[in-house]
Amino acid sequence: MHRTATINEVSARYTILPEEWYIPEVVGGKPTNGMKQGQEDNLQDWQKQNFKEALNGMCKQNYELYLYYLSIGVAPEHARMMLHLNHYTHWVWKQDLSNLMHFLALRLDKHAQYEARVYAEAIYTLLKQYLPELMRLFDEHKRI
């Protein structure tokens, strides 16, 4: 985050997290252009499918372990260590429009990380639905 926002996350210390995790629709390979970040479409279909199936299987297995350890009395802040980084959480995000427009200008750029672009497109679509004139001005003056 490059600008200010107020973010409150649901705490897994007090709430049992739902059985939800992110499995990428698009699985990219390591870049061959010397870059340390990003992805390229250089994997074969079997590699992509294998990755997705393995990731989903490990998430299911670890979620079951998370629930098991909660059920036998392990502290939630320790039991949640069984969960993967791609386990969904819930946030309440508050931000003024100026900073949100800056965020969108950066994250809608074709060079932004794929998942960040998808998230930014979802925000953009919602804003365009409810604030069409604002988003018209954004497209004219702020969008990179």
Which position among 3, 13, 80, 107 bears the catalytic label? 107
CA distances from 42 to 32, 55, 122, 135 (A): 9, 19, 27, 35
CA distances from 2 to 37, 90, 99, 112 (A): 19, 21, 9, 13
Our answer to whether residue 107 is catalytic in this structure is yes
Catalytic machinery residues: 107
